[in-house]
Structure 1
Amino acid sequence: MLWYNVIINLCARLFFATILFSLLCRTSVIRNTINTLAKNNLSKLKFIAIFVAFSLVDAFFGAQLVTRCINNQLAFVMVSGLIGGPIVGTATGLISSILAFFLVPYAPFSYHYILVILIGLIAGFFATWLQKQHAIYADASILGLMFTFFYLVINISLNTTTMPNSYTVEDILFPTLFSYSIGAGAFMGILEDFYNQQEKIEGISAKTALKITNNSISILQDGLNTTSASETADIILQEAETFDFVAITSLDEILGFSSYRTEAPFVSFLVDDFQNLFKTSFKQDAKNLDVIRSYINVPIYNDKHHVGYFCVGHILDSETTPFETTLAHGLGTMITNQITVHSIKEKAGLYDKAEIKALQSQINPHFLFNALSTISFYCSQQPQTAKSLINDLASYYRNNLTDGNTMISILNELQHINAYIHLEQARFGDRLKVDYDINIEESFLVPALILQPIVENAIRHGLYQKLEGGRIIIRIDKQKNSFRIAVIDDGLGMTSDRLKHIFDNTKPKNSIGLTNVNQRLITLYGPKNKLKIYSSMNNGTIVIMKIPFQEVSENND
């Protein structure tokens, strides 16, 4: 019955190790370590240290027994590899073997350590696969059985003189296979339970966050201010039912606050706590605060700009739960999203006159319908022409998605115009002629989509209404301190009264694009570089802009 003593000895020590690991998984330090194991080197070091400690303690106590050459080191190394990957498994095996060799009395022979390190490496390669399995503990037990069998076969074949007195290979074989495989399954079962608990926490927190979002969405739709922040904080405190206080702040002051305690002394102390938090960008240890004992801080952003904090916590409990952490980050993200939506709506409100929409022509159903109709005609008549026009249409709309504030090279702007002109020429044939008169040798930067509305305006309002069509000349010259761009057409022209009020926003007009181009030029280059327009009835129109010298980077070519 010697095998019975061996299995009891091994399983007893594994039992205490699994209990300890289960308790450790309930601490925030180990939870964070496991969650960041794949991408954080410090977490890997912590995890290696834990299993090296398990191995050393087990090897030390195992060495004091009659079964001193048998311990659970291999099981711990296998588990570290199955959880942490090949680096963690190999490092755990190497470090624990070196320390055991020098520190543990009656240490096993050298073959044992070599095999332990090798199995730690091999087990690590199964880590990713194992995490995808549904029964992670069962698969881990099978892998543990395989690795142990491999270890024993190599171990026994290389050395047959290490069995203690009166012990046989059979006395060691079954207990080792059993305890190591069960141990690997037990550790992975604890880890699986850890992941399941996290999923439940995330599910409950998501449900709570969704309920809070539904109740606060109408409040935050007008942006973040003292009123909306206070009302949102009240809703979160009531619906979450877990925090002692909820605060929404700017970078240096409280915008909204809600707490179960509202007496004046408490509020005064809490305000002092937040002043300390503001000074340290919410990195202050709660132990150094007056009334806040624990807190969770989530930064709030508006279009990637840090604008404030969402802070929740306790005034009695010194720790926050995983549920509270997950919920707080979800709510912080919700507030950020709502602020971003409001910012987008606010920016959209600045474009009520449809200046940007007209500029980019992103929503021009008539142009798109006409272009598609033209392409449809050429599909049966001239397939190659149709293919070319499709490319032009794709290029045209792709360029129209460019941010109007982006600076691009004049060559890119001309390519965009050329795509637009090809589509119009396919429709109107010889009625539309375009000449390029480029008198420069170097490129320069222009605001994206600065020329397209001028050319489009010349075609739509200058040439379309002429039965015989007309010609457009795009001329670029270099002057003393700027580049001069002129768009010249021989179309119908404009009356003096219309020309006089072309940039008057109070007058209804069809050339919104010209107004927008003029405003952009003034904003970027000053009033001296505003758009100049010369026109008279039946004599065409000349539109001139000046672009001050700017250096072209390689990214804009």
Structure 2
Amino acid sequence: MQGDRLVFELILNIALLVLIANLISKFRLIQKLILQENRSLKSQAFLSVVFGGMVVLSTYTGIDIGSYSLNTRVIGAMAAGLLGGPIVGLYASLIGAIYVYLFSAHQAFAMASAFSTMMFGLLGGGFYPYFQRGKWKYQDLFLLTCFAEVCDMVCLLRFTVPVEMALNTILEISLPMILLNASGILIFISSFNHMFIQQDIERSRQLQQASGLVRKCLPLLVKGLEDCDNMERFAKTILEETDWAGVVITSRSQIIACGQKEIDKNFQIGEKIPDIGVRVMETGRMETMSQVPLSSPWYEWMKEYSLVAAPFMIRDQAAGCLIVWVKKQWVFRKSELELHQHLVDLSSYQLALSELERQKDMRQKAEFKALQFQVNPHFLFNALNTVSCVCRENPIRARELLIILANYFRYNLNSEAYMVPFEKEMEHVRDYLELEKARFEEKLIITYDVPKDLELEIPTLILQPIVENAVRYGINREGKRIVTICAREEPKGCKVCICDEGKGMPEEVLKKLKSGESIGNSVGLSNVHKRMKSIYGEENGLHITSSKEGTCVKLCFGAESLRRL
């Protein structure tokens, strides 16, 4: 009967320690400190006090058997070393040893119990690296605790006087104390282990949810917050992938998209932004609101919901915000707040990239326009000279040429695009060559080898300067200007070649062109070279082959220029 009572009360003591372990393992601070590899002295001191308190509690709630107190102090002391490391194990067991020595029920066992308590902490700390590397098994922990209890019995025999008292006590308590404490530490450590496993599972679930949500949402932000259709899809995707009851997406000045699951009333696009949205855009930080103010026009239909808002930040400036609302609970779930912040942060990054691409595109267009204005006056000067020469001899033909010239400039003035279909660019080339044909007559021979069904988009006025250069300098030994225009579609894009049979380009001109230097008073060739590199990359400027037999200028347009109907 006495043995049954001892076992029962020892089990109660173990249950008390396990309950405490479950409670303290819920504290984020404890979790953080146990998982840290390099702890500060302050952190080690804090853990030492926590586990030292467990040793003291185990001793205080011990079961008196005659002059000896049967207790579970081995669990707290060894756990301090196994979970906190050698330093924590040393100081936690020291706290317990001091209490045991000073307040033990019988001084005959005080020295032995204090010494064994110190040994428990050091033993756990010694196995800390083995335990932390995950090499331990539960049977190893069971056997280690059994060994620690055997050492405790040896200490009792070594330090207790008289020896007969120690021997009788050991015979009475040894078996239940060894088995129950060894089993108890398994339950105690598994409480912490279960906490970390559950925490890891929850984090994995959150990461999967966040990754899936981000993967679906970020492509919708490529065109920025101004794309209303994409923003509506963005809001719909958020509602489908989360437990949030509703969502509002705003710009700096108004609501641009919204959606909800259960509420009959809805925010309207263009409405005034809720106060919480205005505040987060001013502060740049997330904000929660558990109670909508009574003065708010949305109080009646939002009073059962809590709101969370965070701003989309681009270069430290709020471009808009994301507001969500959830059904009121007694506590805000931190995982929901982290998911919201994670989504907003990555969305801000995507919006910043989109804005950067838009600015880059605008800069390219501005550069193209500036280069285009440099080319057009050059062409106009040559065209007017040609018409002027023809006007004296054949007014009717001159009128036709003026119409051709007018058509060219009408297109040039009306076109806002810097990329045009290849056939339209070829019409400009033919208009130019028609003017030059009137000037040189039979001394200008043009050959076209261009597919009629070539679907290609190229930069405006990219071919005409090359053709003009071929006409001007491509004079052969017979005094004729022979120009060939050839276009071929290739797997990697399209290649256009403009060749003449002149004397070739001087070597210094080719070097200046390659290095990007200006070429005399002529800007046409160098401008085209710069434009090609700007659009298609540094390796895709003009490719020129020149000799005494003539010059061939090759323009390579990437596969992205091809248009499939």
TM-score by length of 2: 0.51
Give the drift of 1:178.
Answer: 1.7
Distance 1:136 1:284, change over 3 A: farther
Structure 1 Cα separation of the partners of residues 2 and 75 of structure 2: 21
Give the drift of 1:15.
Answer: 1.5
2:249 is the counterpart of 1:237:
no
Structure 2 Cα separation of the partners of residues 46 and 313 of structure 1: 39
Which residue pairs with 1:156 in the alignment?
157
Structure 1 Cα separation of the partners of residues 254 and 162 of structure 2: 74
Distance 1:464 1:102, change over 3 A: farther
CA contact (8 A) 2:254 2:272 kept: no
Q: How does 1:73-472 map to 2 (within 5 A)?
A: 73-99=73-99, 101=101, 109-133=110-134, 136-159=137-160, 161=162, 167-223=168-224, 231-241=233-243, 243-244=244-245, 271-273=274-276, 314-321=326-333, 324=336, 327-328=339-340, 331=343, 334-335=346-347, 338-339=350-351, 342=354, 345=357, 349=361
Greater CA deviation, 287-296 or 315-324?
287-296
CA contact (8 A) 2:79 2:185 kept: yes
Structure 1 Cα separation of the partners of residues 267 and 119 of structure 2: 60
CA offsets 1:333-385 (integer angstroms, 9 cap, x no match)? 643554465466557647859x9xxxxxxxxxxxxxxxxxxxxxxxxxxxxxx
Structure 1 Cα separation of the partners of residues 278 and 22 of structure 2: 39
Which residue pairs with 2:457 in the alignment?
none
Structure 1 Cα separation of the partners of residues 343 and 68 of structure 2: 55
Which residue pairs with 2:409 in the alignment?
none
Structure number with greater CO (CA < 8 Å, separation at least 6) is: 1
Distance 1:58 1:337, change over 3 A: same
Which residue pairs with 2:521 in the alignment?
497
Which amino acid is the alignment partner of residue 319 of structure 1?
V
CA contact (8 A) 2:116 2:151 kept: no
CA offsets 1:73-124 (integer angstroms, 9 cap, x no match)? 2211211222222333233223344455556765862453344345324423
Which residue pairs with 1:523 in the alignment?
none
CA offsets 1:252-273 (integer angstroms, 9 cap, x no match)? 9998766557588999999445
Distance 1:102 1:294, change over 3 A: farther
Give the drift of 1:169.
Answer: 1.7
Equivalent position SS for 2:328: coil
Equivalent position SS for 1:222: coil
Which residue pairs with 2:51 in the alignment?
51
Give the drift of 1:39.
Answer: 5.7
Which residue pairs with 2:466 in the alignment?
none
Distance 1:220 1:496, change over 3 A: same
CA contact (8 A) 2:52 2:91 kept: no
TM-score by length of 1: 0.52
Distance 1:343 1:313, change over 3 A: same
Equivalent position SS for 1:497: coil
Give the drift of 1:284.
Answer: 7.1
Structure 1 Cα separation of the partners of residues 252 and 165 of structure 2: 69
Distance 1:327 1:125, change over 3 A: farther
Structure 2 Cα separation of the partners of residues 306 and 38 of structure 1: 38
Q: Aligned residues, how many?
A: 382
CA contact (8 A) 2:307 2:324 kept: yes
Structure 2 Cα separation of the partners of residues 213 and 74 of structure 1: 49
Which residue pairs with 2:477 in the alignment?
none
Distance 1:151 1:168, change over 3 A: closer
Structure 2 Cα separation of the partners of residues 329 and 464 of structure 1: 58
Give the drift of 1:147.
Answer: 3.5
Distance 1:494 1:29, change over 3 A: closer
Q: How does 1:537-556 map to 2 (within 5 A)?
A: none
Equivalent position SS for 2:134: coil
CA offsets 1:160-194 (integer angstroms, 9 cap, x no match)? 55997994323333233223321221122222222
Structure 2 Cα separation of the partners of residues 26 and 250 of structure 1: 40
CA offsets 1:491-541 (integer angstroms, 9 cap, x no match)? 99964214x679x8x65449979xx9xxxxxxxxxxxxxxxxxxxxxxxxx
Which residue pairs with 1:15 in the alignment?
15
Which residue pairs with 1:71 in the alignment?
71
Structure 2 Cα separation of the partners of residues 169 and 30 of structure 1: 36
CA contact (8 A) 1:145 1:177 kept: yes
Which amino acid is the alignment partner of residue 144 of structure 1?
T
Structure 1 Cα separation of the partners of residues 65 and 309 of structure 2: 51
CA offsets 1:293-348 (integer angstroms, 9 cap, x no match)? 87888897768999888776745213244754664565456435544654665576
Give the drift of 1:219.
Answer: 0.9
Structure 1 Cα separation of the partners of residues 516 and 22 of structure 2: 85
Distance 1:494 1:254, change over 3 A: closer
Structure 2 Cα separation of the partners of residues 352 and 306 of structure 1: 26
Which amino acid is the alignment partner of residue 213 of structure 1?
V
CA contact (8 A) 1:78 1:89 kept: yes
CA contact (8 A) 1:300 1:308 kept: yes
CA offsets 1:6-62 (integer angstroms, 9 cap, x no match)? 444333211222134235545666656656686687765664444333322222121
CA contact (8 A) 2:157 2:167 kept: no
CA contact (8 A) 1:221 1:342 kept: yes
CA contact (8 A) 2:216 2:237 kept: yes
Structure 1 Cα separation of the partners of residues 46 and 273 of structure 2: 35
Structure 2 Cα separation of the partners of residues 336 and 20 of structure 1: 43
5+ residue gaps in structure 1?
356-460, 467-487, 517-557
Structure 2 Cα separation of the partners of residues 148 and 54 of structure 1: 18
Structure 2 Cα separation of the partners of residues 78 and 321 of structure 1: 35
Equivalent position SS for 1:496: coil
Structure 2 Cα separation of the partners of residues 295 and 89 of structure 1: 46
Equivalent position SS for 1:69: strand
Distance 1:183 1:497, change over 3 A: same
Which amino acid is the alignment partner of residue 211 of structure 1?
G
Distance 1:166 1:208, change over 3 A: same
Bigger radius of gyration: 2
Structure 1 Cα separation of the partners of residues 85 and 257 of structure 2: 45
CA contact (8 A) 2:253 2:273 kept: no
CA contact (8 A) 1:10 1:179 kept: yes
Which amino acid is the alignment partner of residue 234 of structure 2?
T
CA contact (8 A) 2:81 2:90 kept: yes
Structure 1 Cα separation of the partners of residues 323 and 516 of structure 2: 64
Which amino acid is the alignment partner of residue 188 of structure 2?
F
Q: CA RMSD in A?
A: 5.4
